[in-house]
């Protein structure tokens, strides 16, 4: 079995997953470049990667669907792509010590630092192996636990821009226990002016070509103002 590391073992123990009980764990943590003369094992690693990719995709899709009911399909797609990109998976993989745990071929190791693509692939193959041994529930727990920082980062940086109304509502409900209130009127020149109130204070005002656009821009302004106030 490839080398063990404390970070990965800690995550697995938190989720009550025993590394020794994970089927194909050795192959999952071994890049195909290592199996120069064993195409069967190399192919199994790639199959685990394929399976893990599907598990990660489903897990993050379900998480976003449940946690951001105001986000439309396009917004959910963008958010998901930001979380499950190879760069983000690789960053997560390095954080849990995969670079020092996995086995790779001499040609890869001789280049020094293992590239992001390989780290991301191993993260996916490990996810696939956990799924085979423990089912979707545990595999999803592993994905969400491992990617929690990436999920938070995307939420903070992307959602306010892509779905400001939903983000504002989430923050306001958390702090004040109520929803933001919008007052939107149509002007004589067929434009819309929207004001958004939080705890009876006007926190944002904007003008748009439609009611939806005006309220979205007002919510964005409110988020900016609230960020200065430390919400």
**Could you give the angle at which helices 164-176 and 211-228 cross, rounded to 10 degrees?**
50
Identify the three-state secondary structure at position 27: helix
Place of tokens 């951001």: 68
**Is 53 annotated as catalytic?**
yes
Tokens for 97? 């010590």
- Please state, in angstroms and rounded to a whole number, the distance separating the CA atoms of residues 34 and 12: 25
In contact, 135 and 104? CB cutoff 8 Å? no
Tell me which residue of 185, 229, 226 sits closest to 203, measured CA to CA: 226
Beta bridge partners of 204: 196
What CA–CA distances, in Å, run from 208 to 195, 198, 217, 222? 11, 20, 8, 15
Please tell me which residue in 37, 38, 49, 53 is annotated as part of the active site: 53
Tokens for 199? 């705890």
Please tell me which residue in 37, 49, 73, 124 is annotated as part of the active site: 124
Place of tokens 């923050």: 171
User: Alpha helix locations (H) across 147-191?
Assistant: 148-154, 160-162, 164-176
Active-site residues: which are they? 53, 124
């Amino acid at each position: 079995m490839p080398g063990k590391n404390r970070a990965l073992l800690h995550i697995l123990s938190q989720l009550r997953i025993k590394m020794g009980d994970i089927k194909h764990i050795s192959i999952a943590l071994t890049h195909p470049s290592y199996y120069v003369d064993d195409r069967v094992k190399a192919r199994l690693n790639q199959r685990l990667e394929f399976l893990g990719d599907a598990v990660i995709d489903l897990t993050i899709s379900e998480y976003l669907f449940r946690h951001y009911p105001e986000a439309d399909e396009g917004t959910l797609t963008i958010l998901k792509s930001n979380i499950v990109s190879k760069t983000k998976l690789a960053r997560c993989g390095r954080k849990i010590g995969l670079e020092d745990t996995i086995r790779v071929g001499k040609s890869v190791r001789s280049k020094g630092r293992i590239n992001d693509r390989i780290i991301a692939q191993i993260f996916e193959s490990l996810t696939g192996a956990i799924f085979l041994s423990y089912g979707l529930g545990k595999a999803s727990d592993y994905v969400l636990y491992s990617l929690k920082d990436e999920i938070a980062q995307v939420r903070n940086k992307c959602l306010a821009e892509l779905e400001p109304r939903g983000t504002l509502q989430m923050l306001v409900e958390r702090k004040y226990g109520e929803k933001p209130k919008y007052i939107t009127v149509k002007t004589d020149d067929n434009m819309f002016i929207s004001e958004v109130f939080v705890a009876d204070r006007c926190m944002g005002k904007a003008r748009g070509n439609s009611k939806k656009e005006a309220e979205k821009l007002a919510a964005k302004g409110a988020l900016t103002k609230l960020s200065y106030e430390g919400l």
